[in-house]
Structure 1
Amino acid sequence: MIFHTPYRKVLFSILFIIFHFQYLLAQHYDIRQYGVSDGLPSASVYSVFQDSRDFLWISGQDGLSKFDGKKFQNISSDETDSISNIDVAFEDSLGNLWGNTIYGPYKFDGRRFINYPFQNKPRNLWVTQQFITKNKKIWVTVGSGIYELQNNVWVKIPFIKNDDLVFYNQVVELDDNRLLFNFRDSLCVYDKYQNLNRIICNEELFPVFKSVRTFNSEIFVFTNKRVYKFKNDSLIVIYPDEINGFVSDVYLDRSGKLWVAIGSQGVKIFDYYSSNQKSIDKIIILGEVYDIMQDRYGNMWLSGNSGLYRLTPRYIHFIAKPKGLICKVFNAGDGKIIIGRIEGEPFVFRDDSLIPVSENYNYRGKFKYSGAWMYSITIDKEQRIWMGNNHGNIYRINSNQIEDLSGRFQSFKRVMGALTYNRSKDAIYLSGDTGIVKVRNDSIVKNFSVFQNQGEYVNAMNTDYSGRTWFCIESKTAIVGYIKNDSVFTVKNFSIKLFSDSHFYFDSSGYTYITTKTQGVFKIHLITSDSIKIDYHFSTKNGFISNLINAIDFDKSGRMWVASTSGIFSIRIIDSLHYNVSKYNLDALTGVTDWSLCYLVFDGSNRIYFTNRYGAGYIECDKVVENVIPPKIYISDISIADNKVNWMEYCRLLTPFFFTPVKPVLPFSLNQFIISYTSACYSDADEIYYSYNMNDNDSSWIFNGTSNKVSLINLAPGNYVFKVHSRTANSPWSKAAIFEFKINPPWYRTGLFYGLSIVICGTGLIFYLKRRRDQFALKLKTQQHLHELEQRLLRVQMNPHFIFNSLRSINEYIQSHKTILASEYLIQFSKLMRAILENSRQKEIVLSKEIEVLELYMALESQRMEHPFSYSIEIDPEIDPENTLIPPMLLQPIVENSIWHGLAPRNKPGKIIIRVKKQNETIQCEVEDNGIGREVSSISNNGLKAESHGLKITAERLGIIEQIKKIETNLKFRDLNGDNNFTGLNVTFTLPFEEAV
């Protein structure tokens, strides 16, 4: 049929009205609809199921979808014909979902659908029910019978003989001995004795029992037209006057409300545990309702052929007032709530409407509000309402009449608008430009001078339960004080910057609260007349939502409600150091995002009235859920070294087989993780926040904001317990999800490596110590040997023959009356003996001392020989004799050998030349004579005569020097050819070059 334009417009108008009518009839709930545009695969939704992780599973016409409150994840499968119409029934202990289809039961393990075979394939596989029994057995009901899953095969349970004529629709466990069968056309109770008793329905002639729903101990049965309560094996019809239509579902929520879906009539809600037989609310949506469900957070979910609906209990009511900006809200007593405006007449909040004060109190005058706004309100004992604005205008409502008192207090050039009633003094305290005055019977009875400097003014006053009138003076720093018994006291130990519009509040325990615009709220109490103690400072540093506070108040339960520039929140004080914060996201509910002029007040009964720039509303305190259930969290996937691995599934599957939690053990090369986690939240306004921890210290949680993943890089070897929990702004932290794992150390940090290293190092240390011991023993032996050689050399140098010959020479000089020669010889002899003794005590001497000994020795030996010889000593210019060290008494034995075995047998004068040269880092010593040579003197092949003990000792000493100094001394003897067939001898050796320090 083709509609003409006028009819089409009419039709669209009717549909528009019907579509929006649902919200008019759902006065106690806020409704959110989800459809294809939100991600659902189909607008037709059959049922909703919430798993243990709080995710919703939506069964629809085009398959299964998973919903976390923000987005839908559509589950696909190759078996589209089998699972396109799956209906989730329950979740088993391992987290697997079990669903019903017209092709049999399916299990979904998160990755794939599993279909188990039937032992005897029934004629009809249409599953009408699937559940876990009290003894943990899985049963499934198909038309031809009831089957139990045994060893992954469905085995039929024979309850009734010859049951081919019945249709098994449902079975319910009534107790340990009895079952309730729903055969669609009848209800029967089956006991352990196999007795089948039919339940009679008196309300309907041919009832069709659609379903049986159980909620704790309550059992409901509904047909096409009626809802029954099953009790004592009988059916009792309920709400017969309200329910008369096609009933599609029944649900009893946790608050005791019974929800009944009646086809296209919508859903009627009853107070089940009361005697009221009338519905208390009605929900109408487009189309029919198929299924009703309540989630863990208290939200109700309706599914039908027009989509999915979420119903949230409404506890906030808001009235928009676009003309004139609204500011403060005041409790005027007797349920009167007055709303102040900026440059506008105040309102009275009445019957969920904002009524101008002049209309409410028949005021015929004109409010002076140009550029002014309501500053404070107080009530005296006669229930008269005093109002003051920030321009100093004072109004009083008396017996529904409004009086303008602005000109009555002439002592002030200007009334500032801050006022309060002191019940103990029965007086109104007003602030002005000269201080504070006490007013009684419309006259000023006392002035209080509270200002110290020009330009100061009182920005807040309030009176506590003890009769103290507190005031705050705006100055360079805030001046806080109070008036008690007509005396002014100033608090001296409280000095902070307080901007205008601070205020005082008092709780029932006698504590005073000071709100600020920059530093949160201070909770104080007096300890002396002029000093206070700050009991607690509420600020963002310890969990406060904002530091810019406009107002606070307390409800009957002691909960503190806070109005800030970030919105409204409440806190429940636990102890002196801890409190819980609950934030109420009013943006979506009020349509307002600017809360800079947000104020609130408690009406003394059940409501918190609040204002923002564009309207006013109230919160029903008893409907606000405190300690909101936190969102559950679980670890979704883990990427290890850029490879995504479902470790949680791996651990979950293996743990039951090993009877202990399984955790992955990874090599050191796989020490980089990206851990992803997720939570479900079904509030449009709430964000989910996360914190994680990597150790057992509960104070070291790391806040991760709204990010649902954490990167762990370059983890050290060890056992790790990763914990993450979640919360919304209005809930505490959830129970943590945990992922345990272990990272093995690298091979060079394993116990085996350490053990082998200890063995190798120990063995090496043993060899090293043994070598050091051997070296030390060798060194000690060498030093002993060297010492013995030095002693032997000393004995050789001071042998009796030399001493005897020297003394004989002296004697001959004396006998020959050569006393001068004798004296000189004796002096030289004594010098030589003393030098030899001194040098023998040292391991090394300077070269000059060695040359001195040689000169003395050669001079003495030349004088007493028959044919004296000449000698010379040549020193390399690069060598400083005074700073060059050599071992003592090395050259003397070689010179002695040249004199007595080379020059003496010559029988004619000879010559000895001693040369000391520097060669690189060594010293080359050379002794040369022009004697008879080795062959004539019968020197052996090695250059040493058997009687020459001095040369043997010198050769041994040089060998020891080679061992100690690690240098080759190269002792060499070389014959020289001379004139007249006389030969000579050249002896050389090498020493290390060492300088004296």
Structure 2
Amino acid sequence: MYPSKLVSIKYLFIFPLFMVMGLYISAQSAFRSVSYGTKDGISSLRCRQMIKDTNGFIWITSDKGLNRYDGNSFYVFKHKQDDPFSLANNSCNGLLSDSKGRLWVNTEDGLSLYDKAHQNFTNFYPDTSVMRVPSLGYTQMAEDNNGRIWMGGIYDVLIFDPATQKFMTGGWFDFAKKSGIIKFNKRNSIIQSIVKKSKHELWLLTVYGLFSVDTKTMQYSYYPSKDIDDYFAFNISHVDKNGVLWIGTYDRCFYTFDPLGNVWTHHKCPPKSTNFPDQMVVIQPYHGDTLVMMRMDEIYLYQADKKIFQKLHFKDDEAKVHSANNINLAVFDDDIYILKSENPVLTRYFYSPLMIQKQNIPFTKDFINNSGFYIKNNHMLTGDWAKGKMLICDSLTCTTLTYKNGQSKTGILQLYYRSLAGVSYLSASHVVFILDEEKKSVEQLSITDCFDPDIEIEFRNFVEDNSGNVYVRERSKGIFKINRNNQSLEYFDVGIIDDSYGALYHDKATNKLWLATDKNGLYVIDPLTKKTKNYPLSTSFSMKKGFISDISGDDRGNVFLLMPGRGLMHIKSKSMQSRLYTEEDGLISDEVRYGFTSDEGIFWFTTESGIMAFNIPKNKLYSFENEPDAKLFFHRIFPDHTGNICQNLFPGQIICLNKNIINKGMTPGKLYLKEVTLFDKKLKSDSIFTLKYDENNLAFRFGLLTKSVVIQPEIEYNINSRSWQKLENDMSLNLFNLSPGKYIVEIRQKNHPEIRHTIKVIIRPPWWSTWWFYTFILTATALTGFWMYKKRIAAVRKEETEKNALRQQISKIEMSALRAQMNPHFIFNCLNSINRFILVNDTDAASEYLTKFSRLIRMILDSSHEDMITLQKELDSLRLYIGMEAMRFQHSFEWKIDIDPSVQTGNVLIPPLLLQPYVENAIWHGLMQAPPDWGIKKIHIKISSENDGQNTIIAISDNGIGREKAALLRSKDVDGRKSYGVVLAQERLKLLSRSNGNDATVIIKDLKSPEGIAEGTSVIIRLPSIAKNSTV
């Protein structure tokens, strides 16, 4: 939380005591104050002790937790029942930063040790064996030379040894009891203060008096005061460099005890209100021998050697300081912290030199300051635009500038320039003057007639080259050169065509003029040759437009372009290398306005949000957000006679910023992680968080540890180096539903981008998304794939083996079929037929028969070398065979082959020599066995297709005697031949089905008349239609 009230400057009035004390505080010095209440994050109105640790945090105990203050905001640590690493108890009392920099907190239930790294606590609890009443007192704590922690408990001193993590009693009560110091129990025998005395000794202040203890021997000593019988509410508030104890009291002002002479001294306090006791509860060192003291209604500075009290007053802040509810006071690094039992609970006062001052211009009330400058002799030059008049003022009076003829209406004051030759110039829109500061008069420079009468003349800024030539910019024409001989203005024509010129600058390092135009960007001009070079900025520097409001720089080639809306561009004039600074680089605003460079190498410039500085040697930006009046600088700035940065302040002042503000200004502070929660449950703070995949809702709270920053800074963040975004909601960052992965979170102050805090968040993936699981899956997949590959290889090899076996079997069957078709009976019969044709002198028939026989043999032999042949070839061989059988049987039967047009016999493949056995059976066993009176014997072969050509149907039918009668009549040798050929054909069809996965079937039907008389046989062969280019 940040202070609910704006920081305001309070002037501290302690004169004439300051002169006496030698304190560097005067009426022109300033204390700033900032106040905090419970709505700003403080846990309670009942705060108790304060301490500053080695890291710079201020810790404040209360009855409702432990407060940590970082200079800007509060964070409260509290006890939580379900968190063993929280505070031992919310009621916190004493605080101690030990020799190792560890923070110890004395609570009602036990001792808590703060873990800086994880921002939690380790707790230690005493038991009744060492503590009669289970409660620790409100006392301070101290560390002895052995690292043991001493604290006050009810009835006795408690000692905690971090090495053994055990408590023990100090033995003070027994010593005081045996020594007769304790005669009866007084207010529970409270130990009120324990402080360091020497290397091996501690001071103890109890309700029974002052004691010391040797921590090596555990021997106690007693230092009574004859004037004090009850030390209740006494406390050792301070031990000075001489070892003197300063003891505050509740109702007796304060005492000092000098151990060298065992001298008690009672001191009187200033008069008090009758409503309050004579108290001085807190005494703290301030400057030198000066002490700051607090009682309920007043704060005092006390000079010890002179015993002089002086009230500490803050102008307009009396009620805050003197509210009669002061609880405690502490001084850390010269800042004064006051605790109260009412809101605001904490007020912090810190000294700060005045960095910004305003000076009133002593003109009459009817004069308005539209433009003002410091000129020669630290006088002020100001102009009223409405009146068209100019004044020169000192701290008391103003004088109107006039022409030599006494005319006072000189025009609208724009800019002032004093040349190296000591000549002062003024631009007053339509004219340029030479100013005589001594005579308070002006002389107008003549001008050549080069202006269009319809164009308004507007002269603006001056520059001077290395030869002492002075140039002045005019808004519509560009550059004019001042002729020093006749004091006239001459148009300096460099051939640039534009109608609006925004800025003019001379770079001494290159002796070049820099001229900004509104339309064409930047021109760099050689004043000797008038040669120009154009930089449109829209392309050269990747800018969308190149409007420039001002150009400034130093004598060493550092030039700055101020481009409103775009930022600040720094250019090295000799190399023209550039860098653009924007809000992402630390500018408080990209709306930059005007600037100038000081002799110290600091470039000062204004923005719409206030003034900034750029340290050229360090390449570092500075902003001054802790100076509220820094926002008043938004126009042209100029130096005064001491080098401070000044600006005209409408309507009647000049405001100046101390040039040393960079060295004496506020430090930027240190960003840190204040708290991190996972699903609203607090985690140990760290820089690296490694979480499970379902622990992905995180909330981070950040803080800024600083002594000086009291106005909330603007904080930005980025994740994984993406664009910077403003951190809203009390410097909190919430990350929801983070996917598994690594996240680098960076935070920074916008105006101090070099100061960053980095956190690394690692969200581990679920086990099924981890690399080892993927490795397992890949390995298992690879092994399974390898196993399946091996299995497939084995199956392929087995399949190849089976196919080879099938091929061998097919080859055997083919050879058997060949032998079956070429059996000796067939050959013998063919030869007999040829012989018969010869004997009957039918040589033509014998020749024809022999020719067909040779062709058939040739076709059978050719087909026997192929697994598949076309249906056309099979039919051709079949025609030869049937033709030969018809000649042999003297054409005693008719035959024909019908082919359906849908069947492309030249493109359909079938096994060779497949149909001949069925045709042979039909001729020999069906037709030739029929009696002579059977009638016309016929054999019919029909080729067709079905299922859109997917199957080829071959039907072989005859009108013979049928299978039943043939079985009765067939002879023995015919039987053997017939059975062998048909069986081989059926086996080949089965092998065909197994090899290509398609069914090939043979159906044999007996044809009968309605009366049941055999009329022949039909063989139907259904084959899959295998195209000629298919692989079988």
Q: CA deviation at 1:638?
A: 1.6
* Partners of 1:328 and 1:600 within 8 A in 2: no
Equivalent positions of 1:345-424 (< 5 A) are 358=399, 368=409, 372-382=412-422, 385-394=424-433, 396-399=435-438, 401-406=439-444, 416-420=458-462, 422=464
1:309 positional shift: 1.5
Partner of 2:16: none
Aligned pairs (5 A) from 1:925-940:
925-929=954-958, 930-931=960-961, 933=963, 936-937=966-967
Q: Is residue 2:604 matched to residue 1:561?
A: yes
Pairing 1:817–2:841 present: yes
Residue 864 of structure 1: how far off its partner (Å): 0.8
Aligned to 1:524: 571
Structure 2 counterpart of 1:918: 945
The alignment partner of 1:514 has SS state of strand
Query: 2:780, 2:477 → 1: CA distance?
Result: 90
The answer to whether the aligner puts 1:148 opposite 2:159 as a matched pair is: yes
Alpha-carbon distance, 1:786 to partner? 2.3
SS at 2:578 equivalent:
strand
Deviation at 1:187, TM superposition (A): 7.2
Contact 2:299 2:311 in 1 (8 A): no
Which residue does 2:645 correspond to in 1? 608
1:733 and 2:755 aligned: yes
2:676 corresponds in structure 1 to: 636
Query: 1:589: which partner in 2?
Result: 628
1:858 positional shift: 0.7
Cα distance in structure 2, aligned partners of 1:972 and 1:404: 133
**What's the CA shift for 1:128?**
0.8
- Name the SS for the 2:994 alignment partner: helix
**Closer, same or farther in 2 for the Cα pair 1:235/1:449, shift >3 Å?**
farther
- Aligned twin of 2:275: none
Report the AA paired with residue 89 of structure 1: L
Which residue is equivalent to 2:511? Answer: 468
Are 1:987 and 2:1019 an aligned pair?
A: yes
Asked if residue 598 in structure 1 is aligned to residue 635 in structure 2, the reply is yes
Aligned partners of 1:817 and 1:311: how far apart in 2?
Answer: 151
Q: Provide, for residues 44-83 of structure 1, a one-character-per-residue CA deviation record: whole Å limited to 9, x for no partner.
A: 65445678998766555777667784688796999xxx97
Instruction: Give the Cα–Cα distance (whole angstroms) in 1 for the partners of residues 358 and 723 of structure 2.
Output: 42
Tell me, in whole angstroms, the C-alpha distance in 2 between the residues paired with 1:363 and 1:269. 61
Q: How does 1:686-701 map to 2 (within 5 A)?
A: 686-693=712-719, 699=721
Contact 1:409–1:444, Cα closer than 8 Å, also in 2: no
User: Structure 2 vs 1, CA of residues 293 and 229 (structure 1 numbering), >3 Å: closer, same or farther?
Assistant: same
8 Å CA contact 2:469, 2:481 repeated in 1? yes
Query: What does residue range 322-333 of structure 1 map to in structure 2 within 5 Å?
Result: 332=375
Q: Which residue of 2 aligns with 1:211?
A: 236
The total of aligned residue pairs comes to 928
The superposition leaves residues 374-418 of structure 1 with CA deviations (integer Å, 9 ceiling, x where unpaired) of 334335444x5433243435352523x422223555778797433
C-alpha spacing 1:154/1:356, structure 2 compared with 1 (3 Å): farther
Query: Does 1:286 find its partner at 2:316?
Result: no
> What is the deviation of 1:862?
1.4
Contact 1:632 1:726 (8 Å CA) reproduced? no
> What's 1:655 paired with?
none
Deviation at 1:902, TM superposition (A): 3.6
Write the deviation string for residues 776-798 of structure 1: whole angstroms up to 9, x where unpaired.
22123223332343344344434
Amino acid at match of 2:715: Y
Task: Please say if residues 61 and 67 of structure 2, whose CA atoms lie closer than 8 Å, have aligned partners that are also in contact.
Answer: yes
Structure 1 residues 634 and 21, CA, compared in 2 at 3 Å: closer, same or farther? closer
Alpha-carbon shift at residue 564 of structure 1 (Å): 1.1
Once the two structures are TM-superposed, the CA of residue 960 in structure 1 deviates from its matched residue by 1.0
- The 3 A distance-change label for structure 1 pair 744 and 104 is closer
Paired residue for 2:791?
767
> Which residue of structure 2 lines up, in the alignment, with residue 304 of structure 1?
340
Residue in 1 that maps onto 2:150: 139
Determine if contact 1:324/1:343 at 8 Å carries over to the other structure.
no
Alpha-carbon distance in 1 for matches of 2:785, 2:245: 81
- Distance across 1 between alignment mates of 2:60 and 2:552: 52
CA contact (8 A) 1:104 1:127 kept: no
Instruction: Give 1:904's match in structure 2, choosing from 907, 928, 943.
Output: 928
Q: CA deviation at 1:637?
A: 0.8
The answer to whether residue 521 in structure 2 is matched with residue 478 in structure 1 is yes
Rounded Cα–Cα distance in structure 1 between residues aligned with 2:479 and 2:895: 125
- Residue 463 of structure 1 deviates from its aligned partner by 4.4
Pairs within 5 Å for 1:78-157 = 86-87=92-93, 89-90=95-96, 98-100=105-107, 116-122=126-132, 125-130=136-141, 137-142=148-153, 144-149=155-160, 154-157=167-170
Q: Do structure 1's residue 854 and structure 2's residue 885 form an aligned pair?
A: no
CA distance in 2, matches of 1:940, 1:51: 127
Secondary structure of the structure 1 residue equivalent to 2:561: strand
State the 1:852 CA deviation.
2.4
CA pair 206-148 structure 1, distance change in 2 beyond 3 A: closer
> Is the counterpart of residue 886 in structure 1 residue 910 in structure 2?
yes
Q: How many Å apart are 1:895 and its aligned residue?
A: 1.3
Contact 2:944–2:953 (CA under 8 A) maintained in structure 1: yes
SS at match of 2:628: helix
In structure 2, give the amino acid aligned to 1:963: R
Q: Is the 8 A contact 2:137 2:191 kept in 1?
A: no
Q: Deviations over 1:111-140 (max 9, x none)?
A: 999965453335795321135667654432
Aligned residue for 1:33?
Answer: 35
Q: Which residue of the partner structure matches residue 505 of structure 1?
A: 553
- Is the aligned partner of 1:959 residue 2:1005? no
Which residue matches 1:11? none
Rounded Cα–Cα distance in structure 1 between residues aligned with 2:614 and 2:104: 39
Matching residue within 515, 525, 541 for 2:562: 515
In 1, are the aligned partners of 2:62 and 2:91 still within 8 Å (CA)?
Answer: yes
Partners of 1:217 and 1:893 in 2: CA distance: 138
1:799–1:946: structure 2 CA closer, same or farther, 3 Å change rule? closer
Deviation for aligned residue 1:533:
1.2
CA contact (8 A) 2:700 2:734 kept: yes
Q: C-alpha separation between the residues in 2 aligned to 1:742 and 1:988? A: 72
Q: 1:463 to 1:915 in 2, by over 3 A?
A: closer
Q: Structure 2: where are the runs of 5+ without partners? A: 1-6, 14-26, 82-87, 183-189, 273-277, 539-544
Greater alpha carbon shift after TM alignment, 621-630 vs 764-773: 621-630
The match for 2:186 is: none
Cα distance, 1:685 vs. partner? 3.9
- Quickly say closer, same or farther: Cα 1:474–1:554, change in 2 above 3 A: closer
CA contact 1:876–1:916 (8 Å) conserved in 2 = yes
Name the CA shift for 1:159/1:948 in 2 (closer, same or farther; >3 Å): same
The one-letter code matched in structure 2 to 1:585 is E
Contact map agreement 2:613 2:623 (CA 8 A) in 1: yes
Secondary structure in 2 matching 1:734: strand
| Shift in alpha-carbon separation, 1:265–1:534, aligned structure 2, 3 A | farther
- Check 1:662–1:488 CA distance in 2 against 1; reply closer, same or farther (3 A cut): closer
CA distance in 1, matches of 2:650, 2:642: 25
Query: Aligned Cα RMSD in Å?
Result: 5.6
Shift of 1:33: 2.6
Q: Which residue of 737, 762, 766 corresponds with 1:744? A: 766
Q: Distance in 1 between matches of 2:514 and 2:844?
A: 125
3-state DSSP class of the match of 2:921? helix
Indicate if the aligned counterparts of 1:243 and 1:262 stay in contact, CA closer than 8 A: no
Find 1:163's aligned residue among 176, 190, 212.
Answer: 176
TM-score of the superposition, structure 1-length normalised?
Answer: 0.76
Q: Secondary structure at the match of 1:746?
A: helix
